[in-house]
């Protein structure tokens, strides 16, 4: 299989559609990102990297960070995390509050905003937000084997100033006793994790441990057990695209996690980690062209978990 030819073909097939979708504007800083961009990076478990388009341009990974925070939280409290957050798809928007009221403040899964806020509370574990953010940054640099990855503080500030829904979700959970720390501290962690700035190349490499039974094949570092890698992938498949998860599984057939910055990280277990980025979003808040790129890559490579 000529992977570079596939990546190039996908990029050129989608070139006429670049700019499709609507850039997220509820975080003012994200609204400034030029829409006409598409990046593709495929990192294989055999150590190769194939890229096309804007694969070296940093973007705000937003909700994709929830995968790395879940990995950290599982490392800290193991299966105990499931007392704080569920494992079922929500069928609701990523920032929805409705289910929390009837479900005792326990979010449906770790990838909707409420669930990720509960996970941030677990990672905080009695420390200062700065320390938890530092821990995440060290972790992401370790899994990506790249010391240059950083957090865009302007994006974090912009979301802190306008994140009314997240404040509502966090306050609601705190009222149910499902947050141990003050709301401002937990959201301090959450907004900074979402503001991680990465390129498709970095993100594809960072996802490799999930494609390779928990071990980063580039460094040999063991990140999680094979069982844990499988389980994180299962959650990405069932919950990684919110109320678009069924559709993503139908069209792409791989575990994936999206972010409102327009990025998607997808995992082809045993083969590769893929990162795509295009800022325009579809109706449920997932990258329009990113989803299309992954569907084409899955078609052309035959990669699927089904």
- Which residues define the annotated binding site for substrate? 63, 113, 159, 166, 190, 242, 260
Cα–Cα distance, 208 to 227 (Å, whole number): 15
Residue 107 interacts with ligand DON (CB under 6 A)? no
Cα–Cα distance, 88 to 76 (Å, whole number): 22
Of positions 260, 274, 276, 294, contacts ligand DON by CB under 6 A: 260
Of positions 37, 95, 245, 291, contacts ligand DON by CB under 6 A: 95
Confirm whether 300 is a catalytic residue.
Answer: no
Residue 53 interacts with ligand DON (CB under 6 A)? no
210 within 8 A of 233, measured Cβ to Cβ: yes
Supply φ then ψ for residue 59, to 5 degrees: -140, 170
Confirm whether 11 is a catalytic residue.
Answer: no
Confirm whether 242 is a catalytic residue.
Answer: yes
The CA radius of gyration of the chain, in Å to the nearest whole number, is 18
Catalytic residue among 252, 260, 276, 291: 260
Cα–Cα distance, 300 to 302 (Å, whole number): 6
Render 218-246 in DSSP notation, one character per residue. TT--B-S-HHHHHHHHHHHHHHTTGGGHH
Catalytic residue among 10, 42, 63, 223: 63
Residue 199 interacts with ligand DON (CB under 6 A)? no
Residue 291 interacts with ligand DON (CB under 6 A)? no
Print the binding letters for residues 5-44 with ligand DON: x by CB under 6 A, - otherwise.
----------------------------------------
Please identify the residue of the shown chain whose CB is closest to the bound ligand DON: 63
* 3-state DSSP helix/strand/coil % of the chain, to nearest 5: 50, 10, 35
The residues assigned a catalytic role are: 63, 66, 190, 242, 260
């Amino acid at each position: 299989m000529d992977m570079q030819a596939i990546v190039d073909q996908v990029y050129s097939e989608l070139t006429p559609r670049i700019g499709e979708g609507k850039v997220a504007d509820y975080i003012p800083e994200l609204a400034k990102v030029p829409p006409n961009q598409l990046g593709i990076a495929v990192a294989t478990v055999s150590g190769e990297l194939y890229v096309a388009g804007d694969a070296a341009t940093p973007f705000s990974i937003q909700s994709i960070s929830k995968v790395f925070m879940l990995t950290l939280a599982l490392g800290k409290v193991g299966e105990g995390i499931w007392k704080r957050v569920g494992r079922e798809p929500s069928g609701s928007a990523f920032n929805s509050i409705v289910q929390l009221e009837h479900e005792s403040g326990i979010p449906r899964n770790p990838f909707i905003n409420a669930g990720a806020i509960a996970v941030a509370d677990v990672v905080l574990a009695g420390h200062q937000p700065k320390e938890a953010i530092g821990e995440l940054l060290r972790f992401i640099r370790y899994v990506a084997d790249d010391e240059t990855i950083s957090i865009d503080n302007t994006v974090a500030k912009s979301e802190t100033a306008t994140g009314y829904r997240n404040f509502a979700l966090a306050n609601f959970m705190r009222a149910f006793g499902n947050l141990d720390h003050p709301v401002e501290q937990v959201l301090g962690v959450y907004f900074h994790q979402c503001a991680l700035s990465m390129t498709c190349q970095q993100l594809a490499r960072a996802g490799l441990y999930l494609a390779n039974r928990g071990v980063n094949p580039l460094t040999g570092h063991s990140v999680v057990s094979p069982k844990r890698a499988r389980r994180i992938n299962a959650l990405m498949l069932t919950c990684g695209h919110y109320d678009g998860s069924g559709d993503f599984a139908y069209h792409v057939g791989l575990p994936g996690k999206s972010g409102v910055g327009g990025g998607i990280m997808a995992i082809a277990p045993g083969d590769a980690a893929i990162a795509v980025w295009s800022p325009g979003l579809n109706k449920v808040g997932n990258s329009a062209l990113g989803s299309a790129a992954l569907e084409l890559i899955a078609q052309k490579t035959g990669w699927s978990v089904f």
